[in-house]
Structure 1
Amino acid sequence: MDRLLLFSVLLASFSAFATSDFLIRKSRNVRKRSTSNTVVNGIEIYSLKIDSKVTSRFAHTVINSRAVNRADVSQEAFFDVDLPKTAFITNFTMTIDGVTYPGTIKEKEVAKQQYQKAVSRGQTAGLVKASGRKTEKFTISVNIAAGSKVTFELTYEELLQRQRTLYEMFIKVKPKQLVDLFQIEVDIYEPQGLSSLEAHGTFITNDLSPVIQKSIAGNKGHVSFKPTIDQQRTCENCSTSLLDGDFVIKYDVNRESPGNVQIVNGYFVHFFAPSNLPSIPKNIIFVIDKSGSMSGRKIIQTKEALLKILDDMKEHDHFNYILFASIEEPWQQTLIKATPENVANAKKFIETIYASGGTNINDPLLMAVEMLNEAQEKHMIPERSSSMIILLTDGDANSGESNPVRIQENVKNAIKGRYPLYSLGFGHDVDYNFLEKLSLENLGVARRIYEDSDSDLQLQGFYDEVANPMLQDIELQYPENAVDDLTQKNFKNYFDGSEIVVAGRITDNDLNFFTADVKAQGADNDLTFVDRINVQEREDAIKQLDYIFGGFTERLWAFLTIQQLLKKRVSAQGDEKENLTAQALDLSLKYKFVTPLTSMVVTKPEDEKNNETLIADKLTEGEEKKASWVSQAPPYQPTYTSYARPVYSVDSDPHFILQIPEKKDAICFNINEGKGVVLNLINDPESGVVVNGQLIGDKGVSSAAKMPNTYFGKIGIVYKGLDLRIEATPQTIAILNGRDNSVFSWLDTLSLDQDGLTLIINRKKNLVVSMGDGAKFVVVLHQVWKKHPEHQDFLGFYTLDTHMFSERTHGLLGQFFHGIDFEVFDVHQSSEPGKPDATMIVKNNTLTVTRGWQKDYRKDPKTGTNVACWFVHNNGKGLIDGVHTDYIVPNILSTA
């Protein structure tokens, strides 16, 4: 049988950063750690090289990792790489004991069929982790026999984008062990000449700084980083490595001419980035989500970003804010000029923003368009000015017009191609696909803002990219009847610090001179820029550079064309979408790019044993898949799920799940108690927050000897600081505030915001409770068939933010809020197929745990999402403090 290694890598939009990350995870056969400084679990990475060649912003990167199994048994070695989201993989090979297995690019459906056949033959399969901010992880593993060697080699290409005057390349460095030969080599060739070149690393110490070598010689630049083993150590004689973080290269080119044209083998690339132009006044409307889900840290960071953005406003700019929740609330009825007085008043207004209500996205966007139209028609803004809308939201539309398709149609019909709409999606729960289509249909782009301590800087960073429009209505023109297959050549805006790139094919073989004309509107008048070059001289100059990879202009043209076709495909329908898909697929196969439409297959000879097939699926920003690993030989490989933040939950009968991002894993346990028992989930004596849950059981049990299934039928939340108590059952939600008592049904839609507390009832779905900056709970409603003979409605409880809680917090969930350290090893087959046992060391206890699955019902109360976890037996004994009966309390609102 052929041995197939299949992997499909889905790459996405916007950022262009080069990164690579190398890990060797725990092997299948866990043995005592080697005393060697360079060996981890029997596997030694003895060489790790990253070689990148950048030609006119187009980077060709080869990652080569070599490992040897020093153990006396076979071991599993992993090759993990954090790839840039805009990069396309072009090749992957594995060399095992001198035999190389190359990859081939195939249409995704064809590769999928091969993959399914391989799985049916009992071969292994796997998936890769979800995306990060700038990168997505690609993982391949191989079982190495004792004493054998393996070489992994991955090649990818990307166009470095210029943002805020610099091109940046990020290389994530994380070998997890000392490496005999570790090196990063980057060669840069820029025909315009380099004006600056810098390199640094987040992990670089004073001792490591001299190891970074960089040089500029005219139009060539070089960066190298080759630390010795001793320089890699965290301390003298330590076996741990300092190499853990981002290695960053930044550069820019000389700007004597605004344009630069490169021609090789009949393909041209035109880079256009003028400088020293006066900025065009901008008219900007910020459409800001202040719905209840934005409460806490989100709204605080949004306000901080808006305040900083105001400081960067130029006095010739015009601006306004439209806040929205269930209804839209404009700050001013028209755009106003950014005078010092108006900016000061805007700051006072921003300080008053608070979160409450639902999410109506449609109406505020239409109001923003109408406001810009009126300002233009009544000449309230300069004739030569650049208008735009920036939308910030963290959720789906659930108020007013809530159909995403109709919202997109309404906004597109209103804007009519006049203003770009930029959409910023806050957090992972936002409907990013909706925002992406909304922006792409209206001359803009969408970005995800990650919930983190620097969310305000992310918001401000995006504003900085569009803060200084220098040209608008830009049209690039090339020799008539001499070029074909052009990429996008008309642009609404050019912003200071960015760059416009156009590529195409030269059809006139006798063309002596190539002329590129750029026409645009500037701040004061219409402008024309002209680049005229001798075709043969330019080609000869490029070909003399033997270290530059050949034919880069053609590959760059294909790269840009595929990206633009995929982007158009997002909003296309019917025949147009099929045509765009066919064009992108054809180019992907021709130029051997792994794109959303293709996969790469590595085939091994028929006589190989222990066949394996791996599929690596790289994700777009709009997808939220999780890593999983299924293996047939042996029956199990650890499954790691990428969590953006910790989630502590209890649901179903009742299953407690601790999702721990630091470990990229989860622990689960059950509590077996009878109906009516009340369990304490959270108790923080400092903040005064207490959460309890009362168990209910099935309506009947078929056997008297059988313990009935139990679920949470009531959740009680106490917040002593506000004298607040909440009792939620599957029928009602009672809110007791002092002597006031309000009762709501799950049929209600409600949002309350008072004194830093936000309560949101999402009809027949869930109750969201946010307390200040750092405490957020979700109570999920589970409803069964009304006349079900056995089961009844019940509740689930999830903690999404625990920053507010003190170190003294306890309870079945609360005791884990400030982290838990554990180690799992000796994974082995149990008596139950597909559920291996392992040994866990936690809280100085050695436990036998079992791999399994539980459900996370936050997004879908009916089917839920699988979460792989290590199950701790006997009511969590050894994991929880004390025994489970210590957590039984007298009543649902007990604070004892």
Structure 2
Amino acid sequence: MMLFILVLFIYPFLINGDIDLMKITNHTVHTTIRHRYARTVITTLVNNSDCIPREFPFFIALPEDAMITEFSVYKSGSLIKTRVEDTGLAEEETIIKPNGLKGYYILDLISIDSKGFENYVTVSPNSTVTIQIIYEQLLKKKLDVYDHILNLNFNQSTIKDLQITVNIEDVCDIIFLRVSRRARTNFSSPEYQSINVFGTNKTKTITWKPTIIEQEEMANKNLNAQFIVQYSVDNDYRPNLILYNDEYFLHFFSPSNLEKFRVHTTFVLDGSGSMGIGKIKHVKQAMHNILHEMRPQDYFSIVIFSNDIKVLMMNADDSKIKLEDFLNINYNSKNIILGFEANEYNVQQIDHLLDIVPQGYTNIGDALMASNQIAESVKLRLNFPKDEIKSIVVLICDGTPNYGKFKDDPFFETKKNSPIFGLGYGNEDEKIHFLNKITLSNHGYSKKIDEKLDNDLQIQNFYKEVSTPVLSDIYFKYINKKELKDGLSKKSFDLYFKGSELIISGKLIDSKEEFNCTINAHSKHGPYSGPGFTDFFYISRDNDEFNLLRKLWAYIHITEMLTKHTITQDTKEKNYLKSLIIKYAIENSFLTPFTSLVLSWPDHPNALIQTEKLFKNFINYATLPKWKKVLLYEMKKTIHHRTSIETINSSPLNPKLRATYYALRSHSTIVEKYSITTND
């Protein structure tokens, strides 16, 4: 009896395990950035020093626009690699077929601060497993800088051997480089002896091998930090650059020395109850800083929404700005002013008007319609020439519409071409999807606010990105003696922002036939036809970068088609886009919302065994041959929904068998499946 009580007492510890028994002993990250395209290889060694199998929660936080290309595990002398397949077909192929056993597993993405990849890997007793994941990402230029951020997320405070290496290669000279690390609660100085930088004008290598002391400084209980590489290239030398080989080309367009348009910004601010006092405080502080930094020749309007829609307005008679219910305003009246110069007098009046008390529901749809009407009213009142001023909308919110006439279908498009740029609080999929769709449908884009970092600064930096248009209505036309193949990416753009970059990719019929590009756009001073020359850079077939252009072409096309799939309402078009995304993803090994990483193992001629018969052998698991263990795993997944954990716990199985069952429990990973096939 005492023995039984002792087993009951220690059993939870056998199942959950002491964290010291399962540790990462080595973690290396190696990124190669060629022509602004980053390929990151992460390799993790995990050691289980316990006498029973244990699950390791392998987790990687990825940049939002990164695409996983490979996941592999090396254990028990065998390398297990994945391939990309259509998710629908992969799900069907998990069925046990009469002609043998074919096993597949689908690896899913989850959402976190950016987005994450999580899998549970079963590690055998007293053994080490090597896990590797590879992802790729086209870096975006914002405010003249490319950011490459590597996330470190571990359930332990230190790692014995931790190293990060970043190699940068570019056709242009690298004229600025900054390397820093950041804990989740504060910025840290980049001045550490463990960070080394060396290279030439066009290449840089950064290595970081933090000491245990440095890791302890960054960690609280767990090590949760970021390693950030920021760099700029000399676009003044090559502002209009085309890389090409025998099949593909890649066009980087990043002119400088262009004058900004005047900008009218309508800020649409969430004042609903879900924002809470804390978020409202950050928004108010950010708005204070933004308004005080705006150029006097620019204009602003403010919309605050909860149940009702309130806007800043002024009667032409009294020159006093006040907050009024939008429904009570005749916005077509010549006496009503809804857009204000960002001069010192107007800005100083605003602070007390932004005393927002969070309350009520989230009426985003009506607020955005109001912003559209305000933009038109301001445009008519100011009567500037067409290319003198541009209107944008900046939406800051933390939810989806739950009030107003657009709560059921808020995905309208603005009719007057005012792009919407959104900043959102929260990581819920529904919120993220809404903000993406509403901004992409209206010629803009969105970002999430990381509440663990400086909220005010994130809002201010986002505004700097979207408030500097220098070109509008940009159109690229590619001229070739033989027409270009189908496969040209997006070639027309509504706005080009100072310090950003436009990228176009396409296929060539014959690279030996000369081709060129003409550019048509509008600047503040009239028509614009480009910087005057195009710089061509040929990549030969012998160059190891030859296949890079093919990957970039596929990456850009998949990204654009995912955007179109998000915003289109046409079912036929959605299905067509989905089929193309799957095609390009499989051909180029990209994990997308419609593809999966799957793994197969050889058929076994005697694999067809009845589930009930195999279940009877469960208690003799240790004596089963490998192929039966695999089938057992498939069976276990099938019965998992019928057999509760409580049933297993109350069954007359010994604690060791229960521990085995928990070690075998599916946490969405093929690695567990493989581990039970290699541990005879």
Q: Amino acid of the residue matched to residue 426 of structure 1?
A: Y
Q: Is residue 216 of structure 1 aligned with residue 215 of structure 2?
A: no
Cα gap change, 1:428/1:136 in structure 2, threshold over 3 Å: closer, same or farther? closer
In the other structure, the counterpart of 1:390 is 394
Tell me whether 175-184 or 416-425 shows the greater mean CA deviation. Answer: 175-184
Q: Secondary structure at the match of 1:551?
A: helix
Report the Cα offset of residue 507 of structure 1. Answer: 1.8
Q: Secondary structure at the match of 2:310?
A: strand
Q: Amino acid of the residue matched to residue 593 of structure 1?
A: F
Give the structure with the higher percent helix: 2
* C-alpha contact (below 8 Å) 1:186/1:223 kept by paired residues: yes
Cα gap change, 1:631/1:380 in structure 2, threshold over 3 Å: closer, same or farther? farther
In the other structure, the counterpart of 1:349 is 353
Q: Is residue 551 of structure 1 aligned with residue 554 of structure 2?
A: no
Q: Is residue 611 of structure 1 aligned with residue 607 of structure 2?
A: no
Give deviations 1:550-586, integer Å, cap 9, x for gaps.
4111101100100110110112212111111111111
Tell me whether 428-437 or 585-594 shows the greater mean CA deviation. Answer: 428-437
Tell me whether 522-531 or 149-158 shows the greater mean CA deviation. Answer: 522-531
Q: Is residue 339 of structure 1 aligned with residue 343 of structure 2?
A: yes
Larger RCO, structure (CA 8 Å, separation 6 or more): 2
In the other structure, the counterpart of 1:652 is none
In the other structure, the counterpart of 1:492 is 494
Tell me whether 374-383 or 477-486 shows the greater mean CA deviation. Answer: 374-383
Give deviations 1:340-365, integer Å, cap 9, x for gaps.
21112223322x33334443333332
Cα gap change, 1:222/1:365 in structure 2, threshold over 3 Å: closer, same or farther? same
Q: Amino acid of the residue matched to residue 507 of structure 1?
A: I
In the other structure, the counterpart of 2:244 is 263
In the other structure, the counterpart of 1:296 is 277
Report the Cα offset of residue 833 of structure 1. Answer: 10
In the other structure, the counterpart of 1:279 is 260
Cα gap change, 1:206/1:107 in structure 2, threshold over 3 Å: closer, same or farther? closer
Report the Cα offset of residue 231 of structure 1. Answer: 5.8
Report the Cα offset of residue 131 of structure 1. Answer: 2.0
User: What is the rounded CA distance, in whole Å, between the counterparts of 1:94 and 1:570 in structure 2?
Assistant: 33
User: What is the rounded CA distance, in whole Å, between the counterparts of 2:189 and 2:260 in structure 1?
Assistant: 41
* C-alpha contact (below 8 Å) 1:278/1:470 kept by paired residues: yes
Q: 1:84 aligns with which of 55, 63, 67?
A: 63
Report the Cα offset of residue 470 of structure 1. Answer: 1.5
Report the Cα offset of residue 100 of structure 1. Answer: 1.3
Taking the TM superposition and a 5 Å limit, the aligned residue runs for 1:452-491 are 454-480=454-480, 481-484=482-485, 485-491=487-493
User: What is the rounded CA distance, in whole Å, between the counterparts of 2:405 and 2:575 in structure 1?
Assistant: 30
Q: Secondary structure at the match of 1:593?
A: coil
Q: Is residue 187 of structure 1 aligned with residue 167 of structure 2?
A: yes
Q: Is residue 600 of structure 1 aligned with residue 631 of structure 2?
A: no
Q: 2:575 aligns with which of 569, 572, 578?
A: 578
Q: Secondary structure at the match of 1:202?
A: strand
Cα gap change, 1:437/1:95 in structure 2, threshold over 3 Å: closer, same or farther? same
In the other structure, the counterpart of 2:649 is 830
Q: Amino acid of the residue matched to residue 434 of structure 2?
A: F
Q: Amino acid of the residue matched to residue 520 of structure 1?
A: A
Query: CA RMSD for the aligned pairs?
Result: 3.8
In the other structure, the counterpart of 1:696 is none
TM-score w.r.t. the length of structure 1 is 0.59
Give deviations 1:727-769, integer Å, cap 9, x for gaps.
xxxxxxxxxxxxxxxxxxxxxxxxxxxxxxxxxxxxxxxxxxx
* C-alpha contact (below 8 Å) 2:157/2:222 kept by paired residues: no
User: What is the rounded CA distance, in whole Å, between the counterparts of 2:652 and 2:527 in structure 1?
Assistant: 73
Give the structure with the higher percent strand: 1
* C-alpha contact (below 8 Å) 1:105/1:599 kept by paired residues: yes
User: What is the rounded CA distance, in whole Å, between the counterparts of 1:610 and 1:178 in structure 2?
Assistant: 36
Q: Amino acid of the residue matched to residue 506 of structure 1?
A: L
Give deviations 1:714-739, integer Å, cap 9, x for gaps.
xxxxxxxxxxxxxxxxxxxxxxxxxx
Report the Cα offset of residue 161 of structure 1. Answer: 1.1
Cα gap change, 1:539/1:231 in structure 2, threshold over 3 Å: closer, same or farther? same
Report the Cα offset of residue 182 of structure 1. Answer: 3.0
Q: Is residue 200 of structure 1 aligned with residue 203 of structure 2?
A: no
Report the Cα offset of residue 517 of structure 1. Answer: 3.0
Report the Cα offset of residue 129 of structure 1. Answer: 7.9
Report the Cα offset of residue 401 of structure 1. Answer: 0.6
Taking the TM superposition and a 5 Å limit, the aligned residue runs for 1:92-131 are 92-115=71-94, 130-131=110-111
* C-alpha contact (below 8 Å) 2:104/2:598 kept by paired residues: no
Taking the TM superposition and a 5 Å limit, the aligned residue runs for 1:116-195 are 130-146=110-126, 148-174=127-153, 176=156, 179-195=159-175
Taking the TM superposition and a 5 Å limit, the aligned residue runs for 1:693-712 are none
Cα gap change, 1:153/1:291 in structure 2, threshold over 3 Å: closer, same or farther? closer
Report the Cα offset of residue 438 of structure 1. Answer: 2.2
In the other structure, the counterpart of 2:417 is 418
Report the Cα offset of residue 251 of structure 1. Answer: 0.8
Cα gap change, 1:364/1:96 in structure 2, threshold over 3 Å: closer, same or farther? closer
In the other structure, the counterpart of 1:53 is 32
User: What is the rounded CA distance, in whole Å, between the counterparts of 2:561 and 2:416 in structure 1?
Assistant: 19
In the other structure, the counterpart of 1:325 is 306
Taking the TM superposition and a 5 Å limit, the aligned residue runs for 1:514-525 are 514-525=515-526
Q: 1:368 aligns with which of 348, 367, 371?
A: 371
In the other structure, the counterpart of 1:526 is 527
Cα gap change, 1:32/1:487 in structure 2, threshold over 3 Å: closer, same or farther? closer
Cα gap change, 1:233/1:438 in structure 2, threshold over 3 Å: closer, same or farther? closer
* C-alpha contact (below 8 Å) 1:516/1:532 kept by paired residues: no
TM-score w.r.t. the length of structure 2 is 0.76
In the other structure, the counterpart of 2:441 is 441
Report the Cα offset of residue 486 of structure 1. Answer: 1.2
In the other structure, the counterpart of 2:334 is none
User: What is the rounded CA distance, in whole Å, between the counterparts of 1:302 and 1:114 in structure 2?
Assistant: 50
Cα gap change, 1:442/1:233 in structure 2, threshold over 3 Å: closer, same or farther? closer
Report the Cα offset of residue 534 of structure 1. Answer: 7.7
Aligned positions, number: 583
User: What is the rounded CA distance, in whole Å, between the counterparts of 1:340 and 1:182 in structure 2?
Assistant: 51
In the other structure, the counterpart of 2:667 is none
User: What is the rounded CA distance, in whole Å, between the counterparts of 2:593 and 2:70 in structure 1?
Assistant: 15
In the other structure, the counterpart of 2:321 is none
Cα gap change, 1:527/1:612 in structure 2, threshold over 3 Å: closer, same or farther? farther
* C-alpha contact (below 8 Å) 2:362/2:403 kept by paired residues: yes
User: What is the rounded CA distance, in whole Å, between the counterparts of 1:301 and 1:399 in structure 2?
Assistant: 24
Q: Secondary structure at the match of 1:331?
A: strand
In the other structure, the counterpart of 2:43 is 64
Cα gap change, 1:287/1:613 in structure 2, threshold over 3 Å: closer, same or farther? farther
Cα gap change, 1:182/1:301 in structure 2, threshold over 3 Å: closer, same or farther? closer
Cα gap change, 1:71/1:266 in structure 2, threshold over 3 Å: closer, same or farther? same
* C-alpha contact (below 8 Å) 2:60/2:153 kept by paired residues: no
Q: Secondary structure at the match of 1:830?
A: helix
Q: Amino acid of the residue matched to residue 422 of structure 1?
A: F
User: What is the rounded CA distance, in whole Å, between the counterparts of 2:69 and 2:553 in structure 1?
Assistant: 15
Give deviations 1:228-280, integer Å, cap 9, x for gaps.
6x666749xxx999964211111111122322221134211111122232211
User: What is the rounded CA distance, in whole Å, between the counterparts of 2:632 and 2:506 in structure 1?
Assistant: 38
User: What is the rounded CA distance, in whole Å, between the counterparts of 2:108 and 2:260 in structure 1?
Assistant: 44
Cα gap change, 1:101/1:294 in structure 2, threshold over 3 Å: closer, same or farther? closer
Cα gap change, 1:452/1:198 in structure 2, threshold over 3 Å: closer, same or farther? closer
In the other structure, the counterpart of 1:867 is none
* C-alpha contact (below 8 Å) 1:482/1:508 kept by paired residues: no
* C-alpha contact (below 8 Å) 1:123/1:632 kept by paired residues: no
User: What is the rounded CA distance, in whole Å, between the counterparts of 1:380 and 1:207 in structure 2?
Assistant: 49
Q: Secondary structure at the match of 2:538?
A: helix
Q: Amino acid of the residue matched to residue 398 of structure 2?
A: D
Q: Secondary structure at the match of 1:213?
A: strand
User: What is the rounded CA distance, in whole Å, between the counterparts of 1:167 and 1:298 in structure 2?
Assistant: 29
User: What is the rounded CA distance, in whole Å, between the counterparts of 1:577 and 1:600 in structure 2?
Assistant: 22
Report the Cα offset of residue 417 of structure 1. Answer: 5.4
User: What is the rounded CA distance, in whole Å, between the counterparts of 1:530 and 1:380 in structure 2?
Assistant: 30
User: What is the rounded CA distance, in whole Å, between the counterparts of 2:69 and 2:216 in structure 1?
Assistant: 35
Q: Secondary structure at the match of 2:411?
A: helix
In the other structure, the counterpart of 1:569 is 565
Q: Which runs of 5+ in 2 are unaligned?
A: 1-11, 314-336, 605-625, 657-661, 663-680
Q: Which runs of 5+ in 1 are unaligned?
A: 1-25, 34-39, 616-628, 638-826, 838-849, 851-896
User: What is the rounded CA distance, in whole Å, between the counterparts of 1:281 and 1:28 in structure 2?
Assistant: 66
